[in-house]
Chains A and B, each alone.
Chain A
Amino acid sequence: MSYGIVAYGSDNKIAFHSDYSSVVYAGQMSTTTSAVQPTYTGDHHIGINAATRSSNYDMGRIIQYDITLDVDFFIPFYCPNHNNQEICIMDVVNEGTKWVVNLLFSGTSSQAPAVYAFAPLTELPSSAVTLSDFGIAVYDSSSNLVFTDSKRPLRIDDVVTITHHSSIKTNSKGSVSLGANSYTTSSHVNFTSNKTKDHSGSVTNTANKLYSIVPSAYGGLAYNNSGEGTIDCFAGLVTKQYAFEYKSWASFRGCVRHTRNTTTHTATWKADFAGAAYQYVDTSCGIGGLLGSILGIILAVFTGGLSLSLVVGAALTGFVIGEMTVGTVPSIKAYTQDEVFDQNSRPVNLMVTDKSYYGIT
């Protein structure tokens, strides 16, 4: 540099520099919705109670945060609510002067993690920066504020490359037994993920650590059971036909948990949307041939397009309690087969910092 100022840390790397804007802590994000576990509630659905959402569908909870911050570039960091909490930042959405984060987490509805916003100092509106009467303010050659002691700069303790397992679950899901005269069912298979992947960092996880990562991995698990047959109405002389179709699924997101007092970051899977549907039909004795058209009702749910949109919209009805707008509703999907979308386990960097650097309590 031919002018200005540069300061170095004890590691001989830049602490601040008048050519470059520091990235600073810009505030804590607020939750704008209740935490929800969306499930399919459309035609022929089977209810999934709270305990089963956890035990069989491995569901986390979706919640939305926002912060009024008129910047073009933004980095969200989260602080887990408790040890081993599994978290996925699902979406980061810019809505003009506001940034929105959709997040999936494990735990109870009152255990949402805290989310903090960081942004380049040069982008913060002047109203968001109050200079002290003393201390340091550094400007670049265009008179942009690039460092001030009143906005503490982002200090990264560790960067860890995270990949997710290429499978969500490899052990048995179990089965739902159905057949003739199975008019209803409340049974569910077990979609609980059994695949995780550990990654070692260089700093110890504590309750004060903040993490930033938007995992690229997502996918789903599905279970299908269908059949048809003949029921004897009278001494083998008169029969009727029956058919059934059972479908269930759990849509998963790649999450990360950070076990305290270790340096381990574990890539895990947690479901963001689940559903189960069942339809049984039979004919009157002596009548046949109608089953295919009747069972078409349940099949339409899974053909995508308009039908699927209606299903997903209904499932998220409870999520629109807060200020969520259509443009920020997370994308969720009903699966008809096991799938993982992750570009062959593409690595994504996890950044680690610490609350104490920013005066966050």
Chain B
Amino acid sequence: MKILIAVGSKEYSGPTLRVGMKVSHAFKASTTIVDVGEKVSSFNTKVVGLAQDRMESWDFSRPGVDVLEWAFEFLAEKKFIEPKAIEAGFPKNTLVDTGGNRSEVYLKGTVSDEVSLILRNGEIISELRDEVQSHQYDVTIIGGSKKRRMAHDLIQYIDSSIFIVNNYNPDQTYKLLLAVDDSVGTSKAVRYGARVAQAFNIDVDILTISKTEQFGEEYKNAANRASKYLRRCGIKNQNIYKVGNPSEVIKNIAGDNHIIVMGTSTRSPLKKFFKGSKPLKVMENCQCPILIVK
């Protein structure tokens, strides 16, 4: 399993990194931390590269390396990486160009094999999409953003599951809200939900929503299967059945003290573009962490 954690700044990326590493350990996944810096004008990429090489010869790191260094020190402080890596410290001047707007801080074999630190430059969605596609990540973890269409772009263009760390408060007691229905993606969402619940050692509310008063047999079976799976994993859970608009119901129940886990939409891309999707509406309306499982 491979997890990608996108960080952007030292001031705001702490919660994303904390949640990302907890989830990564729960999945026993290899972790890559990526910082996507400002896009460089296509006319000038090579001359900027030359200038940055010159900067490095004067012991100046490229913009973005300081964020990766902060991420490394954060992991060391919270003991997310092993002691020998912490002792070795962040390696200076080891940025290796791996091609295609991508550079890697060379950690493997010298400091740590557990995490990779990557620097990219460009438009964030485009760079994350390229990173996910070329390195086949299973989950992409990113902080919340006020940018319009960010939620839509993430769901539309990133092929992996997406975990958006919105307003995460480490002092808050959370529960997991697992939205289930009879769709194909529910079983994977349940498995992922179980791992996240184990990572945070929290209980699970299994939520089944119907637009009418009738709950079909498939819905009830899905909810029961989920409950059985979570019980086997030793996770306390309860079933909740609600009637209403799914995104509104999820928003009301989640509040600010749940981590939402749900499957991706089964609509075609064209329908998703014109009519939206439930995960998209939930992402846009809810202010708590949410994991969309693809």
Q: Do the two shown chains form a genuine complex with each other? A: no
